[in-house]
Amino acid sequence: MFKELSILAVVVAFSLLTYWLVEPFAHSQMHAHIETKHFKYTDLPAITKTGNAVAGKELVMGAGACTGCHSIETAGMPAMMPAVDAAASYGVNPPDLSTAGALYDANFLVAMIKNPAHATNLDHKYPADGSKMHPMVAFYGAGGDMDQEVADMVAYLQSIAPKAEEVTPKVAFENACGRCHSMRYKNWTPIGEKGKFKYKKDELRFDASVLDYQDYVVKYMGKLPPDLSMYYRSRGEHFLETFIEDPQSHLKGTAMPRVGVTAESAEKVVEYLRDAADPKHAEREETGKNVMIYMIFFVLFAFLWKKEIWKKLH
Amino acid sequence: MAHFTKATSVKDWLNQRLAIEKVEKVMASEYWIPKNINFLWAMGMVLAITFGLLLVSGIFLLMYYQPNVETAFDSVNYTIMQEVGYGWLWRHVHAVAASVVFLIIYIHMLTGIYYGSYKKGREMIWISGMLLFVAFSAEAFSGYMLPWGQMSYWAGMVITNLFSAGSLELNGVVEWIRGDYVPGQAFLTRFFMLHVLLVPLAILALIGVHFAALRIPHVNNQDGEDIDFDVEAKKYLAGDTKGSKVIRFANDFMSKDMFVVSIFLVFFFYLVFWNYGFAMDPVNFDPADGLKTPAHIYPEWYFLWSYEILRPFSKDVGLIAFAFAQVIFVLLPFLDRSPNVKTANKRGLFGIWFWLLVIDMIVLTAMGKLPPQGIYSTIGFVAAIGFIGLWVILPFITAIEKKV
């Protein structure tokens, strides 16, 4: 018995050593470890003024000219044109602002309004010399104290947004990621959810619109942003979190903007990605437990059988 | 024609036609196994059970898998993993078993080397076993192509490229194997055929040969003792079960096997449900893309040691070293010149050789996965030279070995 256990110890020790070398150790050497900054966006200046939502509404609808491009469904401002046409004009469909106040960090929104290229960490793509302009025009002030004006606009967006806890993972994903990325395992295309079609030709028309839209996005981004259906399993939770926080940290020079989500929204986005790539995780845990309970009995009976049989042999 | 009488029972009826009692004796109750063995002797049964798991899970996966470059990825990751009831379980069982089967194969092989179970009439057991290793490798590789992810595609690209034989530039051979200039539909369909038909047939046939090769020389034991199986079997049948050096295959040996199998299955299902990442590479959850080479291309862990023998050398030398590594284990019974059938630790220099080989292969395995840069390249190069050196000196150190 002692001899068998010593042999087992040797076998287990060599197996674990090999496992440690090819898995945790090798992966630590292949991928740089990026620490999360907990979605604080400390490189951006913090809001100093207290915003006034009523004044903000005036600016968003008026002098700020936000609604010239953005829709705000909840404020009764629907999109002015189909997503494909908007992408033709701007490169990508500008986001509806109904949920922006809940999804995005306030300091990020301020920075975004003032200087979109800088807020999204795309200074390398849109250099300060103005040779290439971000499709969103920066806000240069409406004549008053600009910091106050921007704070007012952000306060307005927050006032019309649903409470953060009411934002579902699906809404968080579709708004923050879904205008560039598809997610076919959730029937999501960058121009919206692909529903059921009665006629094949209607489905083909929809598919053709998606392809048209994607052509514009390719022109805008340089390549087609990937379908995110399996990203939870191909990248893992930690990578996704830190990548969403700042794409440049993993992929220096990428055209993907920092989207400025709050920690809570990022969590929801990751939850949705998990739901697409690994929807059976709860069932797996449950089944695993039952199989293990069965296995304990299996081991017990196998041991008793062996003992019984070998009584006559030793 | 044989003489048949009116059967007295179903058993008698079958016995007259199939000789089931005799078969039962030959295969189980009077198939004699030495008593002086430890749990490592159960690895054969563990392998048989794991192969069974692969076969059964494979049959279920085959009902939904689609060997088409457009749909293969989604048929695995969506249809099987999400839509089919418990499809995820079959896939996890299949993927984890495919990886773990190699861990057990390596333990089984190293057990054979350590106890000298390839000598004195047991050469065919060893050779058929090594052919099984080759067949399992082909099975693992062809199966790895099927989900048509990034690693499938690029592993397929790299491995089929080896057949251009370096400077000989036999690109026609590579195209012939792929059925195209690059891995594509023809490539996927033929590897599907290999994975679900031709290679499994070869494996089943080789398992038959491997078992048959055991009958005449019998299973080795912990001390390499030359047992007279006829005498010991008589002793057992006469009732001296405690004094006899042999036991029945069933249920004596089987009961111990099944206990080891039960422990193994606890470990196996732990991996299936909670720690499957090592067997399902994250990179392969990205669909195949011929325009996007992954940052790191590496094979599954069980091929890493031979991959690292290929990698640190220049193209042609690397291929020769790789070919050497693939065939050299088969020749072990002939390279070991010593007649001693004993544990490695009692064989002087051979004992040192054995443990150096184990350590060298683990070092090669680790370096095969790490990026080939800086110190890792150097260590990999030294370990690859070490591997070749170990096999070159084996005939010499075993020729001067004292008889024990």
- Give me the pLDDT at residue A205, please: 97
- Count CA atoms within 13 Å of residue B261 on its CB side: 21
Share of chain A above pLDDT 90, in %: 91
For A289, nearest residue in chain B (alpha carbons): B273
> Which neighbouring-strand residues pair with A104?
A261
pLDDT the model gives residue A141 = 86
Mean pLDDT of A142-165: 94
**Mean pLDDT estimate for chain A:** 95
Where in chain A are the domains? Answer: 37-279
Main-chain dihedrals φ then ψ at residue A247, nearest 5 degrees:
-55, -30
Burial environment of residue B228 by CB neighbours within 10 A (0 to 12, 13 to 18, 19 or more): exposed
| Fold adopted by B23-295 | Cytochrome Bc1 Complex; Chain C (1.20.810)
Contact between B38 and A30 using a beta-carbon 8 Å cutoff: no
Joined together, the tokens standing for residue B127 give 């050779």
What is the spatial distance between Cα A189 and Cα B303, in angstroms, rounded to a whole number? 39
Q: How far apart are CA A234 and CA A280, in angstroms?
A: 16
Identity of the amino acid at B269: F
Torsion angles phi and psi, residue A12, rounded to 5:
-65, -40
Give per-residue pLDDT as tens, B351-372. 999 999 999 999 999 999 999 8
Using CB atoms within 10 A of its CB, is residue B344 exposed (0-12), middle (13-18) or buried (19+)? buried
Give residues 354 to 373 of B whose Cβ lies within 8 Å of A.
358, 362, 365-366, 369-371
Q: Which residues in chain B show pLDDT less than 70?
A: 1
B146 SS3 class: coil
C-alpha to C-alpha distance for B322 and B36, rounded to whole angstroms: 38
Alpha carbon distance B153, B280 (integer Å): 15
Q: What are phi and psi of B287, to 5 degrees?
A: -65, 150
Tell which phi-psi region holds residue B248, choosing left (phi > 0), alpha (psi between -120 and 50) or beta.
beta
Tokens of A109: 């929104």
pLDDT tens readout for residues A251-261: 999 999 999 99
ipTM: 0.94
* CA–CA distance, A231 with A236 (Å, rounded to integer): 7
Please provide the distance, in angstroms rounded to a whole number, between the alpha carbons at the two ends of chain B.
Answer: 55
User: H or E segment at A292?
Assistant: helix A281-310
Distance CA B341, CA B224 (A): 5
Q: Which residues pair with B149 in a beta bridge?
A: B287
- Does A310 contact B at CB distance below 8 Å? yes
Asked if the Cβ–Cβ distance from A306 to B366 is below 8 Å, we say no
Cβ–Cβ below 8 Å for B278 and A284 = no
Give the other-Cβ count within 10 Å of A202's Cβ. Answer: 12
Q: Is A129 exposed, middle or buried (0-12, 13-18, 19+ CB in 10 A)?
A: exposed
Q: Identify the CA nearest to B302 among candidates B114, B55, B53, B96.
A: B96
What long-range pairs does B66-74 form, CB within 8 A, spacing at least 24? Answer: B67/B146, B67/B188, B67/B189, B67/B192, B68/B185, B68/B188, B69/B148, B69/B184, B69/B185, B69/B188, B69/B288, B72/B146, B72/B147, B72/B148, B72/B188, B73/B147, B73/B148, B73/B149, B73/B287, B73/B288, B74/A184
Q: Which two tokens stand for residue B80?
A: 């099987």
Q: What is the pLDDT of residue B53?
A: 98
Chain A segment 290-309 residues within 8 A of B by beta carbon are 291-292, 295-296, 298-299, 302-303, 305-306, 308-309
Q: What is the pLDDT of residue A65?
A: 83
Which H helix or E strand runs over A193?
strand A192-193
Annotate B54-76 with b (16+ C-beta within 10 A) or e (fewer): beebbebbeebbbbebeebbbbb
Are the C-beta atoms of A97 and A73 separated by less than 8 Å? no
- Closest C-alpha among B6, B4, B29 to residue B17: B4
Mutate to test the interface with A, among B49, B272, B285 (most CBs of A within 10 A): B285
Facing residue for B82 by CB, picked from A29, A280, A314: A280
Does A64 have pLDDT greater than 90?
Answer: no
Compute the distance between CA of residue B274 and CA of residue A146 in angstroms, rounded to an integer. 54
**Which residues, in sequence order, are CB contacts of A172 under 8 Å at separation 6+?**
A103, A261, A265, A268, A269, A272
Fill in the amino acid letter for A198. Answer: K
Whether the link from the prior residue into B251 is cis, omega within 30° of 0, is: yes
pLDDT of residue B1: 66
Reduce the DSSP state of residue A33 to 3 states and report it: coil
Q: What secondary structure does DSSP assign to A232-268, as a single string? A: HHHH-HHHHHHHHH-HHHHSTT-SPPP--B-HHHHHH
Of all residues in chain A, the one with the smallest CA distance to B241 is A313
Q: What is the dihedral of CA B226, B231, B232, B237, to 10 degrees?
A: 160
Lowest mean pLDDT among A43-52, A280-289, B327-336: A43-52
Q: How far apart are CA B319 and CA B314, in angstroms?
A: 8
Domain boundaries, chain B: 23-295, 298-404
The interface residues of chain A toward chain B in range 167-226, judged by CB-CB distance below 8 A, are 184-185, 226
Put simply, whether B82 touches A (Cβ < 8 Å) is yes
Mutate one of A6, A17, A21 to test the B interface: name it (highest B CB count within 10 A): A21
Q: Which residue has the tokens 């981004």?
A: A221
Task: Give the separation between CA B173 and CA A276, rounded to whole angstroms.
Answer: 41
Neighbours of A106 (CB within 10 A): 19
Cβ(B94)–Cβ(B61) under 8 Å? Answer: yes
Q: How many CB atoms sit inside 10 A of residue A179's CB?
A: 21
- Do residues A14 and B354 lie in contact, with contact meaning Cβ atoms separated by under 8 Å? no
Q: Which residues of B touch A235 (CB under 8 A)?
A: 282
- For the record, the structure tokens of B83 come out as 């839509």
Residue A229 vs residue A80, higher pLDDT: A229
A4 contact partners, CB below 8 Å, separation of at least 6: B38, B39
CB contact under 8 A, B242 and A299: no
Instruction: Supply the pLDDT for residue A250.
Output: 93
From B330, B264, B327, B304, select the one nearest B44 (Cα to Cα): B264
B298-404 folds as: Helix Hairpins (1.10.287)
Q: What number is the average pLDDT over the span A220-246?
A: 96
At A314, the pLDDT band (50, 70, 90 cuts) reads confident
Has residue A197 got a pLDDT over 80? yes
Q: How far apart are CA B288 and CA B98, in angstroms?
A: 21
A284 in contact with chain B, both atoms CB, cutoff 8 A: yes
